[in-house]
């Protein structure tokens, strides 16, 4: 049975890949983008099954208007994919106030407001699925990505709580955590002006590695297929890691965190009030 989707950030990367695959199989897509003409080619091929809405997720009024248009275009929206976002690169000291504000407004506040805007509509229609495109960077930390990590750690905490709030209404969530993937993410990085004092630090090392392309990438088309297969399932995983770097980095981090927590057990329990 065909499904209807609302996808933000659908003009490129994983969002564009999702829209292309879903339209090709006969689903309906409401694509929220900053530049509606970016999807003219898909509109020409798929007609009314693609509903393009203009939306800058930095503005809550634009988000609410886009959501209203999407739900008006389709009798029912089955899946909402919160995908709009980008990366900010630079040591924390190097970042400008404006860069930090825009990163938070796009990746964190924009995602929060999108989710808030669709909850009542999904509840009223009897349920639905919300997919938040996050990152391996929601569970680990790399130098020069501090603000980006803050937004991804933040949105995952928000989703963890909201999923428990709306579960009784038939609304569930999935967090997608890609590692390095062959999309335009790297080309779209907002890069702070580098300070030479960081050249001989881990921040300088990762900057040189990024410039030299020393990363292993997942295939974007395969990542999209894996996302769709998981989203289509009756009981999708709450978190979906995609790519070798995501799986290995997240696993290593979790194992290390568990070891550190276990080592603190005596201290943790020592601060409890006497029982009885």
Q: Positive or negative, the Cα torsion across 134, 136, 138, 143?
A: negative
Model confidence pLDDT, tens digit, residues 127-145: 999 999 999 999 999 999 9
Segment 189-197 shows an average pLDDT of 94
Whether residue 231 contacts residue 79, with contact meaning beta carbons closer than 8 Å, is answered with: yes
**Cβ count within 10 A of residue 271:** 6
Separation between Cα atoms, residue 269 and residue 82, nearest integer Å? 40
DSSP symbol at 132: E
Coil, helix or strand at residue 166: helix
Query: Which two structure tokens, joined as six digits, stand for 88?
Result: 């900010």
Model confidence pLDDT, tens digit, residues 219-240: 899 999 999 999 999 999 999 9
Q: Sketch out the chain's domains with CATH numbers.
A: 4-270 (3.40.50.720)
Alpha helices in 25-109 (DSSP H): 40-46, 60-73, 97-103
**Cβ count within 10 A of residue 273:** 4
Residues carrying an active site annotation: 134, 148, 152
Segment 193-212 shows an average pLDDT of 93
Does residue 173 carry a pLDDT above 90? yes
Coil, helix or strand at residue 185: coil
Coil, helix or strand at residue 194: coil
Separation between Cα atoms, residue 155 and residue 143, nearest integer Å? 20
> Which pLDDT belongs to residue 256?
97
pLDDT classification of 155: cutoffs 50, 70, 90: very high
- Which range is least confidently modeled, 13-17, 49-53, 105-109, 209-213? 209-213
> What is the enclosing helix (H) or strand (E) of 12?
none
Does residue 185 carry a pLDDT above 90? no
Model confidence pLDDT, tens digit, residues 20-67: 999 999 999 999 999 989 899 999 999 999 999 999 999 999 999 999
Of all residues in the chain, the percent with pLDDT exceeding 70 is 99
Cα separations (Å) of 7 from 16, 18, 123, 130, 269?
9, 8, 18, 10, 46
> What is the enclosing helix (H) or strand (E) of 187?
none
Does residue 201 carry a pLDDT above 70? yes
> Which pLDDT belongs to residue 212?
82
Model confidence pLDDT, tens digit, residues 60-104: 999 999 999 999 999 899 999 999 999 999 999 999 999 999 999
Query: Which two structure tokens, joined as six digits, stand for 126?
Result: 């009897």
Model confidence pLDDT, tens digit, residues 236-255: 999 999 999 999 999 999 99
Does residue 214 carry a pLDDT above 70? no
> Which pLDDT belongs to residue 188?
79
Of all residues in the chain, the percent with pLDDT exceeding 90 is 87
Coil, helix or strand at residue 89: strand
Compute the mean pLDDT over every residue in the chain, rounded to the nearest whole number: 94
């Amino acid at each position: 049975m065909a499904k209807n989707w609302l996808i933000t950030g659908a003009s490129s990367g994983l969002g564009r890949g999702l829209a292309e695959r879903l339209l090709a199989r006969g689903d309906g897509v409401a694509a929220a983008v900053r530049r509606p003409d970016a999807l003219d080619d898909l509109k020409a091929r798929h007609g009314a099954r693609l509903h393009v809405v203009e939306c800058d997720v930095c503005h809550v009024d634009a988000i609410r208007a886009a959501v209203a248009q999407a739900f008006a275009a389709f009798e029912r929206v089955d899946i909402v994919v919160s995908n709009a976002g980008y990366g900010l690169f630079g040591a924390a000291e190097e970042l400008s106030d404006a860069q930090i504000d825009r990163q938070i407004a796009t990746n964190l506040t924009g995602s929060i407001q999108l989710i808030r805007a669709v909850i009542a509509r999904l509840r009223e229609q009897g349920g639905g699925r919300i997919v938040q495109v996050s990152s391996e960077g929601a569970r680990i930390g790399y130098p020069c990505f501090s603000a980006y990590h803050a937004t991804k750690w933040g949105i995952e905490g928000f989703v963890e709580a909201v999923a428990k709030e709306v579960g009784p209404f038939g609304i569930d969530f999935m967090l997608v955590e890609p590692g390095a993937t062959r999309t335009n993410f790297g080309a779209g990085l907002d890069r702070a002006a580098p300070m030479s004092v960081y050249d001989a630090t881990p921040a300088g090392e990762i900057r040189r590695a990024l410039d030299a392309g020393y990363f292993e990438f997942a295939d974007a088309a395969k990542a999209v297929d894996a996302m769709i297969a998981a989203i289509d399932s009756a009981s999708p995983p709450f978190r979906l890691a995609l790519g070798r770097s995501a799986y290995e980095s997240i696993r290593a981090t979790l194992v290390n965190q568990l070891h550190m927590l276990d080592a603190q057990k005596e201290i943790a329990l020592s601060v409890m009030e006497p029982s009885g």
